[in-house]
A = this chain, B = another copy of it.
Amino acid sequence: MTERSQPGEDGLSAPTLAEATHARLRSDILTGALRPGERLKLEALRDRYDVSVNTLRETLSRLVSEGLVANQGQRGFMVVAASLADLRDITEMRKLLECRAVRLSVEHADLEWESRVVAAYHKLSRIEEVVEQDPGHWGTQLELYNRQFHNALISACGSRWLMTFHGVMYDQSLRYRMLAFRVRDFPREQSRAEHRALLDAALARDAERLAAIVAAHITKGAELYQEENLSPRPARRGPKPKK
């Protein structure tokens, strides 16, 4: 067996192997290392992640509930397919949730919230500068700070469920963003300007303006991805699609 992780390095690391595997698989799906529609054979995954089949099964079951893996009956697991219709659905849903959340956040705003927003913006802004000059290499770090900024904006909404559902939608949209990453370059300048506008609106505690910018930001973000590298069939080799 592989050695267990350090007993509590940062106090928050997941001590169980199953949780660690869950995070790894999830990450591999979100980054596109595991492509949409790809079949997830247990033995192959066992080799790749070096854990037992049962642990994988537990992990995959959780990912099914999170909408990242599909399970159809007795024919195993696969990465959920990607489609333009799905992307549209996710985009609309994320707009609904995030707009509502920022409105609530402004309602309940306090100094703590403001500070979190400012701090998150600072990190994001800095990494954006770095990426500007060395694109490609710091992509994942930028994505992390991007998420943390959006999370900070809604962090005072006071609804655990709203945060949860928003997180799911953010993950889903992130996957589509990652799938398109290699094809088109992201319009960084425009994105930076919008983040700045979000910060300003938040500090001004202008809920309407904030929600409007959020909606526009999300819409624009989603418009970039066309169906170019979404679908790829998992390469069914059997000539028997069964009717």
Which B residue's beta carbon lies closest to that of A104?
B92
Q: Which of A145-176 contact B (CB under 8 A)?
A: 159-162, 164-165, 169
A159 to chain B, nearest CB (A): 5
Is A58 in contact with chain B by the CB < 8 A criterion? Answer: yes
Q: Is the interface of A mostly helix, strand, loop or mixed?
A: helix
Is A73 in contact with chain B by the CB < 8 A criterion? Answer: yes
Provide the bound-state CA to CA distance between A74 and B67, in Å: 25
Q: Do B15 and A73 touch (CB < 8 A)?
A: yes
Please tell me which one of the listed residues B15, B64, B169 contacts residue A161 in the complex, with CB atoms under 8 A apart.
Answer: B169
Q: Which of A34-77 contact B (CB under 8 A)?
A: 54, 57-59, 61-62, 64-67, 73-74
Is A90 in contact with chain B by the CB < 8 A criterion? Answer: yes
Q: A65-B66, A164-B67 are in contact. Are A159 and B89 (CB under 8 A)?
A: yes
Provide the bound-state CA to CA distance between A62 and B59, in Å: 9
A98 to chain B, nearest CB (A): 12
Please tell me which one of the listed residues B58, B161, B164 contacts residue A57 in the complex, with CB atoms under 8 A apart.
Answer: B58
Provide the bound-state CA to CA distance between A74 and B54, in Å: 17
A85 to chain B, nearest CB (A): 9
Taking CB atoms, residues of chain B closer than 8 Å to A57 are 54, 58
Is A209 in contact with chain B by the CB < 8 A criterion? Answer: no
Please tell me which one of the listed residues B58, B67, B89, B164 contacts residue A58 in the complex, with CB atoms under 8 A apart.
Answer: B58
Residues in A lying within 8 Å of B, measured CB to CB:
14-16, 18, 54, 57-59, 61-62, 64-67, 73-74, 86, 89-90, 92-93, 96, 100, 159-162, 164-165, 169
